Homo-oligomer: A and B are copies of this chain.
Amino acid sequence: MTIHDVARHAGVGSMTVSRVIRGAGNVSAGMREKVEASVRVLNYQVNVAARATRSRSSAARVGILYSNPSASYLSEIMVGGLEQSSRLASHLMLERCEGLAGQKQAVKRLLAAGVDGVILPPPLCDSRQTINMLRAEGVTVLALATARPMIDVSSVRIDDFEGALAMTRHLIALGHRDIAFIKGDPQHTPTELRYEGFLAGMSEAGLTVRPDWVAQGLFTYRSGLAAAEKLFEARLRPSAIFASNDDMAAAALAVAHGRQIAVPRDLTICGFDDTAVATTVWPEVTTIHQPIAEMGRAAVRLIVDEIRARKTGGDPAPVHHLLPFTLMERDSSGPAPP
Protein backbone atom coordinates (compact mmCIF):
# COMPACT_ATOMS: atom_id res chain seq x y z
CA MET A 1 0.00 0.00 0.00
CA THR A 2 1.86 3.04 -1.26
CA ILE A 3 1.19 6.61 -2.23
CA HIS A 4 0.93 5.42 -5.81
CA ASP A 5 -1.83 2.95 -5.02
CA VAL A 6 -3.77 5.77 -3.41
CA ALA A 7 -3.10 8.03 -6.40
CA ARG A 8 -4.37 5.38 -8.82
CA HIS A 9 -7.45 4.74 -6.71
CA ALA A 10 -8.22 8.46 -6.47
CA GLY A 11 -7.36 9.11 -10.12
CA VAL A 12 -4.76 11.79 -9.31
CA GLY A 13 -0.98 12.10 -9.39
CA SER A 14 1.20 10.79 -6.60
CA MET A 15 2.36 14.30 -5.79
CA THR A 16 -1.15 15.36 -4.97
CA VAL A 17 -1.47 12.47 -2.55
CA SER A 18 1.85 13.44 -1.02
CA ARG A 19 0.63 16.99 -0.57
CA VAL A 20 -2.61 15.92 1.05
CA ILE A 21 -1.08 13.51 3.54
CA ARG A 22 1.53 16.06 4.51
CA GLY A 23 -1.14 18.71 4.95
CA ALA A 24 0.73 20.94 2.54
CA GLY A 25 -1.18 23.72 0.85
CA ASN A 26 -1.76 24.15 -2.85
CA VAL A 27 -4.36 21.43 -3.27
CA SER A 28 -7.88 22.13 -4.50
CA ALA A 29 -10.74 21.09 -2.26
CA GLY A 30 -12.01 18.57 -4.79
CA MET A 31 -8.67 16.83 -5.13
CA ARG A 32 -8.21 16.79 -1.39
CA GLU A 33 -11.54 15.12 -0.83
CA LYS A 34 -10.91 12.44 -3.43
CA VAL A 35 -7.55 11.64 -1.90
CA GLU A 36 -8.86 11.60 1.64
CA ALA A 37 -11.64 9.25 0.62
CA SER A 38 -9.17 6.86 -1.01
CA VAL A 39 -6.88 6.99 1.99
CA ARG A 40 -9.79 5.97 4.16
CA VAL A 41 -11.03 3.22 1.88
CA LEU A 42 -7.60 1.69 1.35
CA ASN A 43 -6.63 2.25 4.99
CA TYR A 44 -3.39 3.77 3.79
CA GLN A 45 -0.64 4.62 6.29
CA VAL A 46 2.47 6.60 5.45
CA ASN A 47 5.73 4.78 5.54
CA VAL A 48 7.58 7.00 7.96
CA ALA A 49 10.93 5.44 7.13
CA ALA A 50 10.62 6.34 3.46
CA ARG A 51 9.42 9.79 4.35
CA ALA A 52 12.41 10.29 6.60
CA THR A 53 14.96 9.42 3.93
CA ARG A 54 13.94 12.16 1.62
CA SER A 55 12.88 14.99 3.85
CA ARG A 56 15.90 15.37 6.02
CA SER A 57 14.24 18.20 7.83
CA SER A 58 11.37 15.98 8.97
CA ALA A 59 13.60 13.36 10.47
CA ALA A 60 14.17 15.40 13.56
CA ARG A 61 15.88 13.38 16.23
CA VAL A 62 14.68 14.26 19.66
CA GLY A 63 16.25 13.05 22.85
CA ILE A 64 14.75 12.99 26.33
CA LEU A 65 17.47 13.44 28.90
CA TYR A 66 16.39 12.49 32.37
CA SER A 67 17.95 11.91 35.73
CA ASN A 68 16.61 9.58 38.36
CA PRO A 69 14.21 11.81 40.26
CA SER A 70 11.91 12.30 37.32
CA ALA A 71 11.64 8.63 36.42
CA SER A 72 8.08 8.54 37.69
CA TYR A 73 7.04 11.00 35.01
CA LEU A 74 8.86 9.22 32.30
CA SER A 75 6.39 6.63 31.15
CA GLU A 76 3.65 9.22 30.90
CA ILE A 77 5.88 11.55 28.92
CA MET A 78 6.63 8.68 26.59
CA VAL A 79 2.98 7.90 26.02
CA GLY A 80 2.33 11.33 24.57
CA GLY A 81 5.77 11.85 23.15
CA LEU A 82 5.90 8.63 21.20
CA GLU A 83 2.50 9.20 19.70
CA GLN A 84 3.35 12.70 18.54
CA SER A 85 6.77 11.62 17.40
CA SER A 86 5.47 8.90 15.14
CA ARG A 87 2.97 11.34 13.72
CA LEU A 88 5.75 13.79 12.91
CA ALA A 89 8.10 11.06 11.63
CA SER A 90 10.65 12.13 14.15
CA HIS A 91 12.85 9.86 16.18
CA LEU A 92 12.67 9.70 19.94
CA MET A 93 15.64 8.67 22.09
CA LEU A 94 15.85 8.16 25.81
CA GLU A 95 19.01 8.92 27.73
CA ARG A 96 19.56 8.76 31.45
CA CYS A 97 22.26 10.43 33.45
CA GLU A 98 23.30 10.86 37.04
CA GLY A 99 25.62 13.51 38.38
CA LEU A 100 27.51 16.05 36.36
CA ALA A 101 30.01 13.62 34.87
CA GLY A 102 27.20 11.33 33.78
CA GLN A 103 25.48 14.30 32.24
CA LYS A 104 28.43 15.13 30.04
CA GLN A 105 28.64 11.54 28.87
CA ALA A 106 24.94 11.40 28.16
CA VAL A 107 25.14 14.57 26.10
CA LYS A 108 28.01 12.99 24.16
CA ARG A 109 25.97 9.88 23.44
CA LEU A 110 23.04 11.96 22.31
CA LEU A 111 25.25 13.98 20.00
CA ALA A 112 26.80 10.80 18.60
CA ALA A 113 23.30 9.59 17.82
CA GLY A 114 22.73 12.84 15.97
CA VAL A 115 20.07 14.54 18.10
CA ASP A 116 18.70 17.85 16.89
CA GLY A 117 16.84 18.62 20.07
CA VAL A 118 16.58 17.51 23.68
CA ILE A 119 13.59 17.62 26.03
CA LEU A 120 14.47 18.08 29.69
CA PRO A 121 12.03 16.88 32.36
CA PRO A 122 12.50 17.95 35.99
CA PRO A 123 14.87 18.55 37.59
CA LEU A 124 17.19 19.04 34.61
CA CYS A 125 14.69 21.46 33.08
CA ASP A 126 15.92 24.03 35.57
CA SER A 127 19.64 23.46 35.12
CA ARG A 128 21.13 26.36 33.24
CA GLN A 129 24.34 24.36 33.02
CA THR A 130 22.71 21.44 31.20
CA ILE A 131 20.92 23.77 28.86
CA ASN A 132 24.10 25.65 28.02
CA MET A 133 26.02 22.43 27.50
CA LEU A 134 23.49 21.30 24.92
CA ARG A 135 23.17 24.66 23.24
CA ALA A 136 26.92 24.94 22.84
CA GLU A 137 26.61 21.93 20.53
CA GLY A 138 23.84 23.52 18.53
CA VAL A 139 21.09 21.41 20.08
CA THR A 140 17.58 22.83 20.52
CA VAL A 141 16.33 22.54 24.12
CA LEU A 142 12.87 22.41 25.66
CA ALA A 143 12.08 22.50 29.39
CA LEU A 144 9.25 20.18 30.39
CA ALA A 145 7.19 20.69 33.54
CA THR A 146 9.42 23.42 34.86
CA ALA A 147 7.87 25.82 37.32
CA ARG A 148 9.88 28.87 36.31
CA PRO A 149 10.42 28.91 32.55
CA MET A 150 13.53 30.74 31.38
CA ILE A 151 12.75 33.49 28.95
CA ASP A 152 15.06 32.10 26.27
CA VAL A 153 14.17 28.41 26.56
CA SER A 154 10.93 26.97 25.20
CA SER A 155 8.81 25.31 27.86
CA VAL A 156 5.71 23.24 28.42
CA ARG A 157 4.22 23.34 31.90
CA ILE A 158 1.29 23.92 34.20
CA ASP A 159 0.92 26.90 36.48
CA ASP A 160 2.15 25.78 39.91
CA PHE A 161 0.84 28.88 41.63
CA GLU A 162 -2.66 28.40 40.27
CA GLY A 163 -2.56 24.69 41.11
CA ALA A 164 -1.74 25.33 44.74
CA LEU A 165 -4.33 28.08 44.85
CA ALA A 166 -7.00 25.76 43.47
CA MET A 167 -6.17 23.08 46.04
CA THR A 168 -6.28 25.60 48.88
CA ARG A 169 -9.66 26.89 47.74
CA HIS A 170 -10.88 23.32 47.55
CA LEU A 171 -9.85 22.67 51.16
CA ILE A 172 -11.51 25.87 52.30
CA ALA A 173 -14.66 24.94 50.42
CA LEU A 174 -14.64 21.65 52.37
CA GLY A 175 -14.84 23.73 55.53
CA HIS A 176 -11.18 23.58 56.52
CA ARG A 177 -9.76 26.66 58.20
CA ASP A 178 -6.85 25.08 60.07
CA ILE A 179 -4.62 24.14 57.18
CA ALA A 180 -0.98 23.17 57.52
CA PHE A 181 1.51 23.22 54.67
CA ILE A 182 4.63 21.18 53.92
CA LYS A 183 7.06 23.05 51.72
CA GLY A 184 9.34 21.47 49.16
CA ASP A 185 13.06 21.59 48.50
CA PRO A 186 14.17 25.25 48.38
CA GLN A 187 16.48 24.32 45.50
CA HIS A 188 13.62 23.34 43.22
CA THR A 189 11.62 25.86 41.25
CA PRO A 190 8.07 24.74 42.10
CA THR A 191 8.63 25.10 45.82
CA GLU A 192 8.16 28.83 46.12
CA LEU A 193 5.27 29.04 43.66
CA ARG A 194 3.26 26.34 45.36
CA TYR A 195 3.75 27.94 48.71
CA GLU A 196 2.72 31.32 47.33
CA GLY A 197 -0.39 29.76 45.82
CA PHE A 198 -1.27 28.36 49.22
CA LEU A 199 -0.71 31.72 50.94
CA ALA A 200 -2.82 33.48 48.33
CA GLY A 201 -5.69 31.04 48.86
CA MET A 202 -5.58 31.47 52.62
CA SER A 203 -5.31 35.20 52.38
CA GLU A 204 -8.24 35.65 50.01
CA ALA A 205 -10.42 33.72 52.49
CA GLY A 206 -9.23 35.92 55.32
CA LEU A 207 -7.47 32.99 57.01
CA THR A 208 -4.15 33.31 58.76
CA VAL A 209 -1.27 30.88 58.37
CA ARG A 210 0.15 29.82 61.73
CA PRO A 211 3.95 29.65 61.63
CA ASP A 212 4.01 26.30 63.44
CA TRP A 213 1.73 24.87 60.75
CA VAL A 214 4.27 25.39 58.02
CA ALA A 215 6.96 22.71 57.86
CA GLN A 216 9.99 22.56 55.64
CA GLY A 217 10.34 19.42 53.47
CA LEU A 218 12.60 18.39 50.60
CA PHE A 219 10.06 16.67 48.33
CA THR A 220 11.25 13.27 49.62
CA TYR A 221 9.20 10.76 51.56
CA ARG A 222 11.69 10.86 54.38
CA SER A 223 11.50 14.63 54.69
CA GLY A 224 7.72 14.27 54.68
CA LEU A 225 7.88 11.97 57.70
CA ALA A 226 9.86 14.49 59.68
CA ALA A 227 7.72 17.43 58.56
CA ALA A 228 4.50 15.64 59.48
CA GLU A 229 5.84 14.65 62.90
CA LYS A 230 6.71 18.26 63.50
CA LEU A 231 3.23 19.41 62.51
CA PHE A 232 1.65 16.95 64.94
CA GLU A 233 3.80 18.30 67.72
CA ALA A 234 2.34 21.79 67.27
CA ARG A 235 0.17 23.00 70.15
CA LEU A 236 -2.97 22.76 68.04
CA ARG A 237 -3.62 20.11 65.41
CA PRO A 238 -4.63 21.26 61.90
CA SER A 239 -7.67 19.71 60.22
CA ALA A 240 -5.87 19.48 56.90
CA ILE A 241 -2.30 19.09 55.65
CA PHE A 242 -1.40 20.29 52.18
CA ALA A 243 1.93 18.69 51.19
CA SER A 244 3.55 20.27 48.16
CA ASN A 245 4.13 16.93 46.49
CA ASP A 246 2.73 13.40 46.64
CA ASP A 247 5.75 11.71 48.19
CA MET A 248 5.46 13.97 51.22
CA ALA A 249 1.69 13.55 51.33
CA ALA A 250 2.19 9.77 51.40
CA ALA A 251 4.63 10.20 54.28
CA ALA A 252 2.15 12.38 56.18
CA LEU A 253 -0.41 9.64 55.64
CA ALA A 254 1.93 7.06 57.15
CA VAL A 255 2.54 9.26 60.20
CA ALA A 256 -1.18 9.84 60.68
CA HIS A 257 -1.78 6.12 60.39
CA GLY A 258 0.82 5.49 63.08
CA ARG A 259 -0.85 8.00 65.39
CA GLN A 260 -4.22 6.38 64.86
CA ILE A 261 -5.56 9.51 63.22
CA ALA A 262 -8.28 8.51 60.77
CA VAL A 263 -7.90 10.00 57.28
CA PRO A 264 -10.01 11.71 56.07
CA ARG A 265 -12.40 11.58 59.02
CA ASP A 266 -10.12 13.39 61.46
CA LEU A 267 -7.54 14.74 59.09
CA THR A 268 -7.47 15.64 55.41
CA ILE A 269 -4.20 15.19 53.52
CA CYS A 270 -3.49 16.26 49.98
CA GLY A 271 -0.54 16.42 47.63
CA PHE A 272 0.62 17.74 44.29
CA ASP A 273 1.72 16.16 40.96
CA ASP A 274 -0.36 12.99 40.82
CA THR A 275 2.61 10.66 40.56
CA ALA A 276 2.30 6.89 41.02
CA VAL A 277 2.61 6.99 44.79
CA ALA A 278 -0.59 9.05 45.05
CA THR A 279 -2.62 6.04 43.94
CA THR A 280 -0.35 3.45 45.55
CA VAL A 281 -0.99 4.37 49.16
CA TRP A 282 -4.24 4.05 51.02
CA PRO A 283 -6.32 6.05 51.14
CA GLU A 284 -5.44 7.36 47.71
CA VAL A 285 -4.24 10.94 47.77
CA THR A 286 -6.22 13.97 46.61
CA THR A 287 -3.80 15.90 44.46
CA ILE A 288 -3.18 18.24 41.51
CA HIS A 289 -2.81 16.24 38.32
CA GLN A 290 -0.30 17.41 35.76
CA PRO A 291 -1.36 16.26 32.27
CA ILE A 292 2.01 14.69 31.65
CA ALA A 293 1.08 12.68 28.56
CA GLU A 294 -0.38 15.79 26.99
CA MET A 295 2.73 17.71 27.99
CA GLY A 296 4.91 15.07 26.32
CA ARG A 297 2.87 15.40 23.16
CA ALA A 298 3.12 19.19 23.20
CA ALA A 299 6.84 19.07 23.96
CA VAL A 300 7.62 16.90 20.96
CA ARG A 301 5.45 19.00 18.69
CA LEU A 302 7.01 22.29 19.79
CA ILE A 303 10.59 21.10 19.70
CA VAL A 304 10.21 19.51 16.26
CA ASP A 305 8.73 22.76 14.97
CA GLU A 306 11.63 24.66 16.43
CA ILE A 307 14.20 22.24 14.99
CA ARG A 308 12.67 22.49 11.55
CA ALA A 309 12.55 26.25 11.66
CA ARG A 310 16.19 26.29 12.66
CA LYS A 311 17.19 23.86 9.92
CA THR A 312 15.62 26.04 7.30
CA GLY A 313 17.74 28.92 8.49
CA GLY A 314 15.21 30.58 10.76
CA ASP A 315 15.74 31.84 14.28
CA PRO A 316 12.50 30.88 16.01
CA ALA A 317 11.51 32.60 19.23
CA PRO A 318 11.08 30.40 22.31
CA VAL A 319 7.53 29.20 22.84
CA HIS A 320 5.95 28.89 26.29
CA HIS A 321 3.03 26.54 26.48
CA LEU A 322 0.80 26.43 29.55
CA LEU A 323 -1.50 23.44 30.05
CA PRO A 324 -4.46 23.13 32.40
CA PHE A 325 -4.12 20.99 35.54
CA THR A 326 -6.88 18.96 37.18
CA LEU A 327 -7.74 18.64 40.83
CA MET A 328 -8.10 14.91 41.52
CA GLU A 329 -10.41 14.44 44.45
CA ARG A 330 -9.64 11.10 46.07
CA ASP A 331 -10.19 9.48 49.45
CA SER A 332 -7.60 11.31 51.53
CA SER A 333 -9.67 14.48 51.72
CA GLY A 334 -13.05 15.16 53.24
CA PRO A 335 -15.09 17.80 55.03
CA ALA A 336 -13.56 19.45 58.06
CA PRO A 337 -14.65 17.91 61.39
CA PRO A 338 -17.31 20.10 63.04
| Chain A residues in the interface with B (C-beta under 8 A) | 43, 45, 47-50, 52-53, 59, 71-72, 74-76, 78-79, 82-83, 86, 89, 91-94, 96, 112-114, 220-222, 225, 247, 250-251, 253-255, 257-260, 276-277, 280-282
Tell me, rounded to whole Å, the shortest Cβ–Cβ distance linking A127 to chain B.
Answer: 20
Sample 19 A-B pairs with CB under 8 A, ordered by A number.
Answer: A45-B112, A45-B114, A47-B53, A48-B49, A49-B50, A50-B52, A50-B53, A53-B53, A71-B276, A72-B276, A74-B75, A82-B92, A83-B93, A83-B94, A220-B282, A221-B280, A255-B257, A255-B258, A276-B277
Q: A49-B49, A78-B94, A251-B281 are in contact. List 5 more A-B contacts (CB 8 A).
A: A82-B94, A86-B91, A225-B282, A253-B254, A277-B280
In Å, the complex CA distance between A260 and B254 comes to 12
Q: Would A49 and B53 count as touching, CB distance under 8 A?
A: yes
In Å, the complex CA distance between A43 and B108 comes to 13
Q: Would A282 and B53 count as touching, CB distance under 8 A?
A: no
Q: Would A221 and B281 count as touching, CB distance under 8 A?
A: yes
- Copies of this chain assembled into the complex: 2
Q: Would A247 and B280 count as touching, CB distance under 8 A?
A: yes
Q: Would B93 and A86 count as touching, CB distance under 8 A?
A: yes
A78 proximity list for chain B (CB < 8 A): 74-75, 78, 94
Q: Would A82 and B93 count as touching, CB distance under 8 A?
A: yes
